[in-house]
Amino acid sequence: MSERLLVLVRHGQSEWNLKNLFTGWKDPDLTELGATEAKEAGRKLKAQGLTFDVAFTSVLQRAQHTLDLILTELGQDGLKTYKDQALNERDYGDLSGLNKDDARKKWGEEQVHVWRRSYDVPPPGGESLKDTLARALPYYVQEILPGVLRGERTLVAAHGNSLRALIMVLEKLSPEGILKRELATGVPIIYRLNADSTVASKLDLAS
């Protein structure tokens, strides 16, 4: 039986990360630093001797571009890849495109903090983390996990909040625990799973 390998990578720095804007489902590309982070992620995975059988990403270009740069570093351009909005970043609704400091001035520091850091309170017109999990988790269970358990080495390039959904299940975190979990841009997390889908080992490739 080949290993049950799952690697998660948050996209590299985006243009709106740099500008301190709420991004959500808006579609800015990577910055020069973000592209460098993605390439470095590919080099780190290559140094681990890893290759992949399949990849998953969102429909947003910053995640897709990250995946493309990683696969180029691995010499795996053209790998079978599935793109789905279930893996999109959390939708920030009316906050999307706003500078985070401007949002605090408009709604107040405390309210913006609640929207960003509570589990089940959505911003106006947007999604809570709980809402994001409600679309990302079924996709993981139905589309990603079965292949991993069959031994397909799987790479997922997505977003901070959609990946939190997967990590919440993999690491058995509570709603409070997942809120505190920060994901650095462009840093691969390597999971090897047991046959029952629990985590056998985890390796975070933060430099």
Residues labelled catalytic: 11, 89
The Cα–Cα gap between 45 and 160 comes to: 19
Q: Would you state the structure tokens that stand for residue 154, as one six-digit string? A: 């799987």
The Cα–Cα gap between 129 and 55 comes to: 24
- Judged by DSSP in three states, 186 sits in coil
- Measured CA angle at 115 (ends 114, 120), to 5 deg: 90
Ramachandran region of residue 150, left (φ > 0), alpha (ψ -120 to 50) or beta?
Answer: alpha
The Cα–Cα gap between 12 and 17 comes to: 9
